[in-house]
Structure 1
Amino acid sequence: MISPRLHISLFGTKFHSFHFFGVIGFIVGTAMGVWLAKYFALNPWYVLLMSGVGAATFFLLTIISKILFGKEIIVYYHHEISILIFCSLVLKLIHVNVLAYLDITILGIGLFLAFGRIGCFSVGCCHGRPSKHGVTYGHDHVISGFTDYFQNVKLFPVQLIESAFVFLIVAIGVWIMNSKASAGTVLIVYTVIYGMFRFVLEFFRGDPERPYWQGLSEAQWTTIILITVTWLLARMNLLPYYPWHSIVMLLLFSAAAYITLFGKSQTSFRIFNARHMRQIAFALAKLSKEKSIESGNPGVTNISLCTTSQGLTFSKGIFTETISPIVHYTVSSKMPGNKLNLRTVKKLARLVQLIQKETEPCEIIQRQTNLFHIVYGNTNKANGFYSGDSNQSGLFYVQVEFNEQ
């Protein structure tokens, strides 16, 4: 199990991991840019100028976000686009080969991102979904702002996957520059290949704060826009054109069309998006914290109910008249558009197991349409566990409603 560190100690000084890797990325990116400029007979001072423009743009956007929203908001695509625009303007003003220096600039931005994602991994931002294998974040991370409902839950290390892939893209970009490709080719390759990868990677993200529209995240829409704009510029002979650019663009258009027209209406898509999984996690946490009240039925605890914005109602109970307690969850759907089936409930059972850290064998039992029991434990020794009326008197119900945010 991987346990990230919030701080890094170096020469007796403690640094916040996010800031540490961000600074390392900036230094390494700038150093690589200067080396590339010298190697390809370009002016390294112009690269240093681009580095300064990039740093100024980064801090300007951070300050603006703090003024507008009261906190620092760092969104990679916002910074990449802004830095490229300002660098292009500066390069145009000093009358140099804009595309040649933008190729180096985008590789520097890539290195900054690759190291930055290691920082994200260390502090828990931009995290992945619950997973059988992955990284866990503890109480210290929660105090620092990590989502508390995923505390000590294994999460897919999406930040490290992105970091490794971006390192690979940067290496490919350097190789392309060395192959004497047309100026601007590296910019196109980075934009298209990273964008395609990022579009897919967004489906593995588990942080619900990012904006969504029509089933796609802001980053996915930005990817489509960037790839389309660069394609148009290429067709206008302002950037190099390659046929694979058109193929990737059409694939992304097709994927976006399917998701917006059909995918987002599917039950599984609505239930397992990041925002709704947050509601499920909150519901499970609420149910686990509810104090049991004797119901008058030996061995059976009282039941609390939590309902999400998608109409899923969860309850949790513990059957104690066995050698080892049996934990059972009941899930039902009251929204006509969200009909539950065994496949969806299996995924829910897996999610419950990961979030609640259930270790006993799981059994799924359907009592009626849209109502399932998810049971952890040896049910063979629990005679009469499923008998009786779930609405019998003496049971204690707490209704909690979640509104879509």
Structure 2
Amino acid sequence: MALTAYLGLSLWILCGLIGLAILTFLSLAMVTKIITGEEQLIYYHHEIGIMIMATIFLKIINHPILPYLDITILGIGTFLFCGRVGCLMVGCCHGRPHKWGVFYHKEHADAGFTHYYLGVRLFPIQALESIWVLMLVIVGCFMVLGRQAPGEALAWYVITYDIGRFIFEFARGDPERPYHSGFSEGQWTSVILMIAVMWGELAGLLPFHLWHITATAGIVLIMTAVATNRKFRSSGKHKLHNPRHVKEIADAIDKISSSVSAKAIITDGHTAQDVIPIATTSLNIQISTGAIKDTVTHIDHYALSYQNRSMTEETARTVADLIIQVKKLSGASRLITRGNGVYHLLIKPHNEGVKRWASTL
């Protein structure tokens, strides 16, 4: 309101834009729920939808577009700043496991938090994005107060937010968002919006800044370099660590662990073993689980292999680390193989004797 009055813009039109933004927000949320069957709030969808509707509204009433879009985008940024604080509190849009960060608990899982990360320290990417957005909005407000050309704050916010968002996405760990060619929907949207702003500046629709063009080209080059590096790396670790694949591993272990026949019990040298169920992820990684135990020893056992080729040790170690992470396994661990492309992850709880562990192996 204060910025609108300072620029001599109509408060009535601003109120109309606020009402339109609320209506657009609710409509998009409802349509998304109808299509997907789930309640999802995707920031970029709402930013784009609100900006398009605001542009159409201003065009219809024949008022200057860019001054009001400057105010609108800063309002959206303020809303996002508050929203990401809320994300941090409830656990949505969370980061990946990290040596320092935040924990989430059962009440968060009951509200929709990723269950296999309960008690796991996660990088607070929501807080980082919130701080980033706040700084951008403050700078944008000074641009408006400094009476810079209409569209300056709009272009500034879109370019700088999208740079940050593209980078932040690498640290996101929530599995719900779609990926294409190894990059998240948020990253693709960031690049597309930056290119749109660049086109607008080259076409004279927005104030031109060479660094905006350079930044856009830089992000495209980074994206290309990352994709090229991934293509020529044989391990494919980025695919293994993709949040969706991590979820597949967690779900696979839950599925096979729930079956009694997933247990291979070895007692006094005699084996009683049913058909062991095997779960396969979208990357053709096969996982089975069981236990080796007698009267004094219990060792959790996970067999890892590829469905159609031999597994490398690097891949096996990556998958083993993910299993330990999502299952929150503690104790001594060992990864062994007989050279046939099948690896065995053995986990001995802390309360088992080291001597017994060594003799069992």
1:202 partner letter: E
Report the counterpart of residue 253 of structure 2 in structure 1.
284
Equivalent residues in 2 for 1:4-403, closer than 5 Å: 34-260=1-227, 263=230, 266=233, 267-291=236-260, 292=263, 294-298=265-269, 305-320=278-293, 325-336=298-309, 339-342=311-314, 344-368=315-339, 370-377=341-348, 381-386=356-361
CA contact (8 A) 2:301 2:344 kept: yes
CA contact (8 A) 1:314 1:330 kept: yes
2:70 partner letter: D
- Aligned partners of 1:184 and 1:381: how far apart in 2? 71
Q: Does the C-alpha gap of structure 1 residues 73 and 248 become closer, same or farther in structure 2, counting only changes over 3 Å?
A: same
SS in structure 2 at match of 1:382 = helix
Larger relative contact order, structure 1 or 2 (CA cutoff 8 Å, min sep 6)? 1
CA contact (8 A) 2:334 2:345 kept: yes
Please report the RMSD computed on the Cα atoms of aligned residues, expressed in angstroms.
3.0
Cα offsets for 1:175-228 (capped at 9, x unmatched): 333344322111111111111111122222222222222222222111111111
Q: Unmatched 5+ residue regions in structure 1?
A: 1-33, 387-405
1:247 Cα deviation after fit: 1.7
CA contact (8 A) 1:117 1:162 kept: yes
Report the counterpart of residue 17 of structure 1 in structure 2.
none
Q: Does the C-alpha gap of structure 1 residues 184 and 41 become closer, same or farther in structure 2, counting only changes over 3 Å?
A: same
More moved, 157-166 vs 147-156: 147-156
1:285 Cα deviation after fit: 2.6
CA contact (8 A) 1:173 1:186 kept: yes
More moved, 293-302 vs 216-225: 293-302
SS in structure 1 at match of 2:330 = coil
- Aligned partners of 1:99 and 1:236: how far apart in 2? 15
- Aligned partners of 2:340 and 2:167: how far apart in 1? 34
1:84 Cα deviation after fit: 0.8
Q: Does the C-alpha gap of structure 1 residues 103 and 42 become closer, same or farther in structure 2, counting only changes over 3 Å?
A: same
1:230 Cα deviation after fit: 1.0
SS in structure 2 at match of 1:330 = strand
Q: Does the C-alpha gap of structure 1 residues 353 and 52 become closer, same or farther in structure 2, counting only changes over 3 Å?
A: same
- Aligned partners of 2:231 and 2:243: how far apart in 1? 13
CA contact (8 A) 1:367 1:373 kept: no
- Aligned partners of 2:252 and 2:63: how far apart in 1? 58
CA contact (8 A) 1:304 1:315 kept: yes
Cα offsets for 1:342-382 (capped at 9, x unmatched): 3x444434322322222324444444264334344476642
1:299 Cα deviation after fit: 9.6
CA contact (8 A) 1:154 1:354 kept: no
CA contact (8 A) 2:6 2:145 kept: no
CA contact (8 A) 2:266 2:292 kept: no
1:215 partner letter: G
CA contact (8 A) 1:299 1:319 kept: no
1:85 Cα deviation after fit: 1.2
SS in structure 2 at match of 1:133 = strand
1:57 Cα deviation after fit: 1.0
SS in structure 1 at match of 2:265 = coil
More moved, 73-82 vs 61-70: 61-70
1:170 Cα deviation after fit: 1.1
Q: Unmatched 5+ residue regions in structure 2?
A: none
Cα offsets for 1:81-117 (capped at 9, x unmatched): 1111111222233343321221111110011111112
The share of aligned pairs that are identical, in percent, is 35
1:45 Cα deviation after fit: 3.1
- Aligned partners of 1:330 and 1:115: how far apart in 2? 45
CA contact (8 A) 2:267 2:294 kept: no
